Chains A and B, each alone.
Chain A
Amino acid sequence: MTRNATLLSLSILLAAGGLQACRKKPAAAPEPAASMPASDANAAQRRADSLAALAAKRAADSVAAARAAANDEGTQAALRRVLSQVVYFDYDKDQLRDDARAVLDAKAAVLGANAGITVVVTGHTDEQGTSEYNLALGQRRAAQVKRYLESKGIGENRVTTQSMGDSQPAAQGSDEASYQLNRRAEFETRNVTGALMRPRT
């Protein structure tokens, strides 16, 4: 019994010693490096540092690029929005309101910077009144828009006009809010190749 107990204790000790030895080994691992010549260690550090810097720079560059791309995307979208922005009219009128002039001024600027683009202006009306007259009214609205763009230097041959009368309402209701949305001129741009140029300020 006693002998057995002693053996057991020994084996525990051995085991503990083995554990001890195992624990020491990792701690001793750096030692070979520390025992390397100092010049070699510095070079390795520089190499590591430069790699990290490069990665950081790359990351920063790609963010900047993405930001720039996103920014340009935003510009392109904004320019396209200007070109497609709808203008609205009063009941039975083709005269341009101030809000319509502001929209057309922005359009003229973008069209001025992108000489190749042509525009189809489609005049629309609300459902009130005679569909025959509404076709004529829609045509007059488109023509007013064309005249205004011409006055802002957009060549006559770059803008064509057409009318859909009351056949294509933007809003389906039979109330004044819907009617206002339907009394409008819409814009379709053609010959847009590549990125749009920003207007010169």
Chain B
Amino acid sequence: MSTMMIRRALSALLLLSAPLVAQDTTRGVRIGLTYDPGSKPGIVVLPGRGVGADSIRAIIQRDLDFGDRVTAIGLNAVALGDASLAASPNWAMLAKLGAAAAVQVTVTPTGLHLALYDVAKHTTALINDYVAAPMSDTRAWRAAVHGVSDDLEESLTGTRGIAHTRVAFERGGRLWVVDSDGEQATPITEAGTPQSAAWNATGTTIAYSSFLPPAKIVLVDVASGRSRTLVTGGGVFISPAFTRDGASVVYSHGIEDGTDLYIADVSGGGGRRLSVGRGSDNISPTFSPDGRRIAFMSARAGHPEIYTMDADGTNVDMLTTLEVSSSAYRSSPDWSPDSRSVAFQARIAGTFQLMTINLRDRGMKQLTSDGQNTDPSWAPDGRHIVFVSNRSGAKVLWVLDAETGRTRQLTRGGTARNPAWSPRLSSN
């Protein structure tokens, strides 16, 4: 509902401001802020009013920073006081700070009130009210604040933020889910052997594999924690991935003659084979955003490389160029949400590093070199990647901005594995 409201507000603003906006210098800008393409507009998050306003300000400021698309301008307490006069923002000061916009979030009896100011025009660019859970319901309340951050980022840059997303991962024999800012890490399974969490397109269900015999693919409802077995039997069941419509799960299964990709309807009925691996291993499926192609890892050429095929298993094509080396190893593919590339991990000089391969010209790009970096998973913005790294010692989750190379640590403690970034989540 917040998105609908904001869209309406934005449409009205665009109509009003359209004649004033030079299109070539304001690509992606929805509220008429004027800045150069590629630059990061500066924004000042003003102190809000009400219980929790300081926390809200801190969360939003950090969300905008982690989004890597705007610059959250930090101010000391005195400057902040000066910047936000009682009646209206201190335009002169905000302009001097290089802020294109200022934002203020106020706590209301039912939720949150957002005001976004256009510094150049000295106008209020956007007003929005949000229904939010009480602050005592930390998880839901933080989700509401992250939703405000994402609206803001969309207003400022034209691209919705990824603050209200989560990352599922393995740690200590359980699956966990953590908010995009590293807060609220919560286990969602009992102790066991869960592996390879995969989200459905709406972020309501996670599929995972369990390898303790009898191995199986399990579906778990994220909100309630209720789970059920999708398929099970002898041998291994590995690496599930939802189809785009969420109606089926593709996974890898094999007993004594390699592993192949299978597909099973969520409604039941067991699996049917998709790939023809002829005794080789075929695992880690990842769908293209249009749902028509699957990238996967196959060792059919003697060692792991990345392949693509149609969703029905036909038209198989080796994506990565075959490397003729006994230690060659490309695995863990993840198709980017913008459909431009596939991220994967490759063995380079004895260690594993993240790479992308461009789907148009097959150009490969190495993204990391510090320590060992594995298990990439794209954020829904097609720009950030969560991965496992031992660069600081223990294997924990890190987030990389693939455009700037900026990294931040997401989890602390324990050995984390196989992260999976959720889609954008709904506010309720």
CA A67 to CA B54, docked complex, whole Å = 83
Chain B contact residues: helix, strand, loop or mixed: strand
Q: How far is the CB of A85 from chain B (nearest CB, A)?
A: 21
Q: State whether the Cβ of A118 lies closer than 8 Å to any Cβ in chain B.
A: no
CA A131 to CA B195, docked complex, whole Å = 8
Q: State whether the Cβ of A137 lies closer than 8 Å to any Cβ in chain B.
A: yes
Q: State whether the Cβ of A182 lies closer than 8 Å to any Cβ in chain B.
A: no
Judging by beta carbons under 8 Å apart, are B331 and A139 in contact? Answer: no
CA A56 to CA B374, docked complex, whole Å = 73
CA A146 to CA B196, docked complex, whole Å = 28
Q: What 0/1 readout, one digit per residue, does chain A (15-29) give for beta carbons within 8 Å of chain B?
A: 000000000000000
Judging by beta carbons under 8 Å apart, are A161 and B281 in contact? Answer: no
Q: How far is the CB of B232 from chain A (nearest CB, A)?
A: 13
Judging by beta carbons under 8 Å apart, are A161 and B256 in contact? Answer: yes
Across-interface contacts of B238 in A (CB, < 8 A): 132, 135-136
Q: How far is the CB of B175 from chain A (nearest CB, A)?
A: 13
Judging by beta carbons under 8 Å apart, are A92 and B329 in contact? Answer: yes
Q: State whether the Cβ of A162 lies closer than 8 Å to any Cβ in chain B.
A: yes
Across-interface contacts of A140 in B (CB, < 8 A): 258, 281
Judging by beta carbons under 8 Å apart, are B236 and A130 in contact? Answer: no
Q: State whether the Cβ of A108 lies closer than 8 Å to any Cβ in chain B.
A: no
Looking at chain B, what size class is its interface with the partner chain? 35 or more
Known: A135-B238, A136-B236, A160-B234. A130 touches B345 (CB 8 A): yes
Contact residues of A between 130 and 174, Cβ < 8 Å to B: 130-133, 135-140, 142-143, 146-147, 160-165, 167
Judging by beta carbons under 8 Å apart, are A133 and B236 in contact? Answer: no
Judging by beta carbons under 8 Å apart, are A130 and B235 in contact? Answer: no
Across-interface contacts of B67 in A (CB, < 8 A): none
B196: nearest residue on chain A (CB-CB)?
A: A132
Give the A interface residue count (CB, 8 A).
25
Across-interface contacts of A91 in B (CB, < 8 A): 327
CA A109 to CA B417, docked complex, whole Å = 42
Q: How far is the CB of A42 from chain B (nearest CB, A)?
A: 78
Judging by beta carbons under 8 Å apart, are B211 and A167 in contact? Answer: yes
Q: What 0/1 readout, one digit per residue, does chain B (326-338) give for beta carbons within 8 Å of chain A?
A: 0101011000000
Q: State whether the Cβ of B259 lies closer than 8 Å to any Cβ in chain A.
A: yes
Judging by beta carbons under 8 Å apart, are B213 and A162 in contact? Answer: yes
Known: A132-B238, A133-B283. A143 touches B257 (CB 8 A): yes
Across-interface contacts of A147 in B (CB, < 8 A): 256
Across-interface contacts of B281 in A (CB, < 8 A): 133, 136-137, 140
Q: How far is the CB of B427 from chain A (nearest CB, A)?
A: 33
Q: State whether the Cβ of B252 lies closer than 8 Å to any Cβ in chain A.
A: yes
Q: How far is the CB of B86 from chain A (nearest CB, A)?
A: 57
Q: State whether the Cβ of B161 lies closer than 8 Å to any Cβ in chain A.
A: no
Across-interface contacts of A132 in B (CB, < 8 A): 195-196, 238-239, 252, 283-284, 297, 331-332, 418
Q: What 0/1 readout, one digit per residue, does chain A (69-95) give for beta carbons within 8 Å of chain B?
A: 000000000000000000000011000
Which residues from chain B sit less than 8 Å from chain A, CB to CB? 193, 195-196, 211, 213, 215, 234-236, 238-239, 252, 254-259, 281, 283-284, 297, 299, 303-304, 327, 329, 331-332, 345, 347, 352, 374-375, 417-418
